[in-house]
Copies of this chain bind each other. A is one copy, B any other.
Amino acid sequence: MDTAGKRDDAEKEGPRRAGKTLVEGAYETLRREILDGTFEPGTKLRTEELRTRYNISGSTMREALTRLLGEALVTTEGQRGFRVAPASIADFEDLTRVRVLVETEALRQAIAHGDEDWESQLVASFYRLSKVEERLAQDQKEAASDYEGRNRDFHNALIAACPSRWLHYIAGILFQQSERYRRLALAKRSIPRDLHAEHKAIFDAAIARDPDLASKYAAEHIERTLTALRIALEPTGVKERPRKERAKPKVSLGLED
């Protein structure tokens, strides 16, 4: 009966229409849970399990899963269900390279086309990001949950003035993909890193309308996360992952070799 009434954990975002569809709800929740590692890469996603978890029917759950398919967060094969998209260093290396290609291009275009409104939005999102970075530096744990969102907002603000719909579309997918890896890299604290300084460098160059410099800093920023993750996983060496589906060392977090 209360078919649509369990959305009381109303996402703080949701700018407009509260009348979200059940599919959308499950899709968003599951996406977040994949991104934040609740479901590790490679994990089997049984519809039965999920359908009870989100209190929706089988077909509806499937539709939500299929959406994630389009964002490459889950995979599916023939007659054997869905699972969380696998993750590996190799994939992250690839992802990083392509992200640099796409985001630097978008950034260049944004700098070329950006008007005053773009600048002010950028200033605002940089400020918000800085604030949470401060808190993060003081090791306030609750800051971490805010960080990812504001980081995304800042990166979006940077390229917001890029007129290319397709670049935005692609950049969005790639950015989201890297979220899983970013989380790992940051959690590990492998290399000392002044994220605020990195962001500020990009920000300053963008405001100064220097596309080459902004691109350079953006590329370095993106690539540094890859380095960080590489180092974080290095000491442990090439640890073989046990065959069993469950019960894998928490450290690996689903990363394949």
A interface residue numbers (CB < 8 A to B)? 17, 19, 21, 59-60, 62-63, 66-67, 69-72, 78-79, 91, 94-95, 97-98, 101-102, 105, 163-167, 169-170, 174
Choose among B67, B163, B164 the residue that contacts A69 (Cβ–Cβ < 8 A).
Answer: B67
Q: Check A95–B166 contact: CB distance below 8 A.
A: yes
Residues of B within 8 A of A66 (CB): 63, 66-67, 70
27 contacts between A and B (CB under 8 A): A17-B78, A19-B78, A19-B79, A21-B78, A21-B79, A59-B59, A59-B60, A59-B63, A62-B63, A63-B63, A63-B66, A66-B66, A66-B67, A66-B70, A69-B70, A70-B70, A70-B71, A91-B165, A94-B165, A94-B166, A98-B164, A98-B166, A98-B167, A98-B170, A101-B102, A101-B105, A170-B170
How many angstroms between the C-alpha atoms of A198 and B5 in the bound complex? 59
Residues of B within 8 A of A94 (CB): 163-166
Residues of B within 8 A of A19 (CB): 78-79
Residues of B within 8 A of A169 (CB): 72
Query: Which 8 pairs, one residue from A and one from B, show the smallest C-beta to C-beta distance?
Result: A70-B70, A59-B59, A66-B66, A98-B166, A94-B164, A94-B166, A63-B66, A94-B165
Residues of B within 8 A of A62 (CB): 59, 63
How many angstroms between the C-alpha atoms of A72 and B97 in the bound complex? 23
How many angstroms between the C-alpha atoms of A165 and B94 in the bound complex? 7
How many angstroms between the C-alpha atoms of A230 and B34 in the bound complex? 43
User: A63 to chain B: closest CB distance in Å?
Assistant: 5
Residues of B within 8 A of A63 (CB): 59, 62-63, 66
How many angstroms between the C-alpha atoms of A169 and B174 in the bound complex? 11
How many angstroms between the C-alpha atoms of A247 and B102 in the bound complex? 40
User: A180 to chain B: closest CB distance in Å?
Assistant: 14
Residues of B within 8 A of A21 (CB): 78-79
